[in-house]
A and B are shown apart, each in its own frame.
Chain A
Amino acid sequence: MIEARHITHRYETDVALSDVSLQINPGEFLAVTGASGSGKSTLLAILSTLLKPTSGEVLFSGANISSMKNLDELRRKDIGFIFQFHYLINYLTLFENIRLACPNCPATDIESVLDSLDILELKNSYPNQVSGGQRQRGAIARALINKPRVLFADEPTGNLDSTNSSRVYEIFRKLCDTGSTLVLATHDQRISEIADRTIEVEDGRIL
């Protein structure tokens, strides 16, 4: 589904990734682990179209992302993002935050996603009125509303306690079991217990 070929990325003079090649299969739960500063988030950003590599190419279902002029449609329809911070918009309710990602979705679809994450009763709450774990589930709902083919998560449990972290991992596992592809970057080594495959990044290279 996604193939990275000889990816190298530099931030000015610092090499964040060096000649990384990788293939991600449909329905796979891939965990990318590594210490802070190892380059795992950069790899995730490149695979998810947020960052253009300095050299190398990324293919999404066979199409070269670098040659795509408009990535908006790809991001809207095929890719979902979950970040370490929820990045929900504070002045919108959870329902409205999710609607932002899918303005034409029927309300029932939004409610269904919220229900699957056990936060339906909070749909009219604002992000600052719910707990950290509930906010992150709101962010997951926003990422799932368009039924993306691939979900990228960058340290999604970084701000959560162990109970909420386990809950989020359970949700991810369920998603992959129902056919979604998930790429997750974390320094939490426990992820290898639930991921289909774990790769470790160190000094910008896959070990």
Chain B
Amino acid sequence: MNSTPFKALRHNLLKTGLIYTSLTVAISAIFLITAISSGIIGMYSSMLKTEGDIIVTEKGIADTFFSEVNPDLTHEISLLPEVESASALIFGASPVETIPIAGIYGVSDNRFSVYELTQGEYPKQGQVLLGHTLAETLEYPESVKISEISFAVSGVFQSGIGFEDGGVVMPIEDAGEIFHKTASILLIRVAIDTNSDELLRQINALDSEIEASTTDAFVENYNQFKIVSTSGRAISAIAFLMGLLGIGSMMSMVVNDRRAEFGIMRAIGISKATILQKLFTEALILTLASFTSAWVISEAVLYSLKNAEKLQGYINGTITTEVLCFALFSAIGMALLGSLLPALHASRTDPILLIQKGT
């Protein structure tokens, strides 16, 4: 393996260190914001997709928190062909004991089974089921106060979804009293090979105030998800630009310091393309080193966030293969674009600088 690029990087240790640091910070930012935003979307959509092939919300509502539907519709929907089950949910958030905010999920009785019990039993009226993260934080209490109302804890569950594991599940009637609504959404499980369009038409015909869609389509078009992913992309773009400017400015300084080196290369017949290749190789080596460091740092940060008691597991980002590829391509793009102008400048170094003018 040619060691020249490594020697060049080692020779300019300070500037190499600065480029490495700025790239690592930028790539870590891309990793974290992408992983966290896709984690939030992933957790919420997993919640909806559990036993929910079709979702019913109030018509024209942009956020499920503000949606209100009639839970009695579950009976009519259950009678439709190809419907296997229909359940009602209330989404809410409220202080729980000393925790300033926690997700509250009021669910109809037929939905309790989606929450896997680790201890106790499913709740009855006046009781709640605690997510295991919240239960640990509150040190497995016998009762909890939610919105000034005291509820007995009937058990603890684990779902693997951070929002749920850090929240409270209760009968939908109790949640209705807290949030003053009967149901936020309905979730419907259907048989395989169901003609969704026909079923959606039939559900929508039951009530003019509701809107049914497949959960996949809902997730794809949900405004809150669009806001989260757009914000994530915007912050990633800013991190990308910061990294780009960082590598661009530092590479310009490096190239300026090494003008004589590039001048002598041009004088001895080394082509412009070879000089470009040399600088791109150096930039790529640094990028791969920074990428690896950023990956390790991001995994550590995400682990800390996931396990931070105060965050109750709500920030639960995972570096998936998709996130990894996105960050890798962003990093390579950053390195190549950032070093392009300095490398072009270096390749055009006029070897005449090696001879004193006018002598």
Contact = CB atoms under 8 A, between A and B. Distances in A.
15 contacts: A36-B359, A42-B357, A42-B359, A50-B351, A50-B352, A51-B352, A72-B269, A72-B270, A74-B269, A76-B268, A81-B267, A89-B261, A96-B4, A100-B270, A101-B269
Contacts of A123: none
Contacts of A142: 268
Contact of A50 (B265, B355, B356): B355
Contacts of A193: none
Contacts of B268: 75-76, 81, 100-101, 142-143
Interface string A140-169: 001100000000001000000000000000
Nearest to B351: A50
B358 A92 contact: no
B124 interface: no
Interface string A90-104: 111000100011000
Interface string A41-66: 11011000011000000000000000
A44 B264 CA distance: 16
Contacts of A74: 269
Contacts of A16: 357-358
B263 interface: yes
Interface string B129-143: 000000000000000
Nearest to A40: B359
B93 interface: no
B358 A14 contact: yes
Nearest to B350: A50
Given A72-B270, A75-B269, A91-B10, A42 B354 contact: no
B242 interface: no
Interface string A5-40: 000000100101000000000000000000011111
A83 to B, nearest CB: 5
Contacts, number: 76
Contacts of A14: 358
A91 B8 contact: yes
A37 B358 contact: yes
Contacts of A42: 355, 357-359
Given A42-B357, A72-B269, A81-B267, 11 more contacts: A11-B357, A41-B357, A50-B355, A72-B270, A77-B269, A79-B269, A81-B268, A91-B8, A96-B4, A101-B269, A143-B268
Interface residues of A, number: 37
Contact of A72 (B4, B263, B271): B271
Closest 6 CB pairs of A and B: A76-B269, A91-B11, A75-B269, A41-B359, A87-B264, A91-B7
Main secondary structure of the interface of A (DSSP, over half): mixed
Interface in B312-359: 351-352, 354-359
A121 interface: no
Nearest to B267: A81
Given A11-B357, A41-B356, A72-B270, A92 B265 contact: no
Nearest to A204: B358
Contacts of A73: 269
B260 interface: yes
Given A76-B268, A91-B11, A100-B265, A83 B4 contact: no
Contact-size category for B: 20 to 34
B350 to A, nearest CB: 8
A158 to B, nearest CB: 10
Contacts of B356: 41, 84
A33 to B, nearest CB: 12
Nearest to A97: B264
B349 to A, nearest CB: 12
Interface string B1-38: 00010011011000000000000000000000000000
Contacts of B354: 50, 81, 83, 85, 87
Contacts of B8: 91
Interface string B298-324: 000000000000000000000000000
A38 B264 CA distance: 24
Nearest to A75: B269
Contacts of A76: 268-270
Contact of A89 (B264, B267, B269, B357): B264
A53 to B, nearest CB: 12
Contacts of B357: 11, 16, 41-42
A50 B267 contact: yes
B257 to A, nearest CB: 11
Contacts of A75: 267-269
A100 to B, nearest CB: 7
- Between B7, B268, B270, B351, the greatest number of chain A beta carbons within 10 A of the residue's beta carbon is seen for B268
A39 B356 CA distance: 10
Contacts of A36: 359
Contacts of A37: 358-359
A35 to B, nearest CB: 9
